[in-house]
Amino acid sequence: MTRHRPALPGRIGHPAVVIATGFGTAVLIGTLLLATPLATAEGEATHWLTALFTATSAVCVTGLVVVDTETHWSVFGEVVIALLIQAGGLGIMTLATLATVIISGRLGLRARLSAQLETKSVVAADLRQVLRRVVLFSLVCEAAVAAVLTGRFFLGYGEPFGRAAYLGAFHAVSAFNNAGFALWPDNLMRFVTDPWICLTIALAVVVGGLGFPVVFELLRTWRRPRRWSLLTRITVGLTLVLLGGGTLAFLMTEWRNPATMGALDDSGKLLAAFFTAVMPRSGGFNTLDIGQMNPSSWLVTDVLMFIGGGSAGTAGGIKVTTFGFLLFMVWSELRGENHVNIGHRRLPSATQRQALSISLLGVALVTVSTWIMLIVTPHSLDQVMFEVISAFSTNGLSTGITADTTLAGHVLLSLLMFIGRIGPLTLGSALALKQRIRRYELPEERVIVG
């Protein structure tokens, strides 16, 4: 006789449906608010597609815009955008952190996140603790960044204290949540040689992109790297490699470019290159004119954007953990090993399949979307691909063609931002939590590969 488990009271639906519904509702509310005359500086209603695109970009913490944020939107509109960014950032941090904790089998945040198999029951107190810590961590980080930026705008640039505080708070929220919205027409290009602003915002982007589980573990065990979980080791290690490699690549490709780094001194070039290497993690700010960069720099940025930041963070892309797993899988295959070992841990075959699935689906989505964009827009392949990857990875960097893209292009980019924000999380969680046990094995047949 088969027993059916009784439905839990107040049980929610499928996680993918809940996540998509939540983000979709936030986008709808933001669209309605931004479409009102109160949200614009001119006091006129904004076209619904412009409002939808901006709301999607804010909720999905992307940063792509079709109108200038400072001149088009009123203070009310800018506050709405900041609140949408905060809601989207907290939403993705909370959902991703809960998914990480549940998948790892560790429901207490004091326990180390590891790949060990351990079963514990989900209790409401644990979930409340996760939510409380994520929100507190986010607000404390944003407050610290806002304080530094406010002081710099007030003391260094002569802004009235109220205006300086407003600028500091807006850009702190935008930076920590990897949104890339700025309140100047040139984004942050006017601050290209200012280390106080550039390094503060870059640090906020990196911390927000690492993810709460990784940051929390680093705070507790930063003196004992050997105790770090596999998630933390991969995230921190590859983040340092990508930041260092990206900085070196941009120094090589843009050093003599008169439209970007050419006019800067050596220290200014180093700061600009480092900032430019940080932003493809999903930050979306720019201190150099992206449209004037060399195509070789665009290609480097494409790769960095597609990889993105850490899991359970506000960054987008396929995530550095996914990319790291792929690298170790290739290395193990080249060495002829039967298992993929990382440090003193063995990577489960299910995780390997998940990494491959997410990566290949991402490549397919970018490829098809680039093909469609080439049909509906008049722009070149390198510009279109840059824009598509930026939208998919919820990055926000642009070569300057966003506003000039056709109506169909804007709709496609909006869909890409939405899919890129909720897709990897829902797909990764669904693949990790869905385990089917086959009662039999089929006979094996070897085929030629390559």
Q: What is the pLDDT of residues 134-188, one digit of tens each?
A: 888 889 999 999 999 999 999 999 999 999 999 999 999 999 999 999 999 999 9
pLDDT digits (tens, 9 = 90+) for 76-134: 999 999 999 998 888 766 766 565 555 555 434 433 333 332 223 334 445 667 777 88
pLDDT at 216: 84
Q: How confident is the model at residue 4 (pLDDT cuts 50, 70, 90)?
A: very low
Select from 369, 363, 358, 209 the least CA-distant residue to 278: 209
Burial class (CB in 10 A: 0-12, 13-18, 19+), 195: middle
**14 pLDDT higher than 60:** no
The encoded tokens of residue 205 equal: 């982007």
Residues making up the chain, counted from first to last: 450
Q: How confident is the model at residue 225 (pLDDT cuts 50, 70, 90)?
A: confident
pLDDT at 23: 84
pLDDT at 429: 56
Burial class (CB in 10 A: 0-12, 13-18, 19+), 189: middle
- In the chain, where the domains are located: 15-430
Select from 424, 335, 391, 292 the least CA-distant residue to 64: 391
- Mean pLDDT in residue range 402-423: 89
pLDDT at 8: 38
| E strands, 113-234, in order | none
Torsional sign, CA 341, 346, 349, 355: negative
CA atoms within 13 Å, Cβ hemisphere of 438:
3
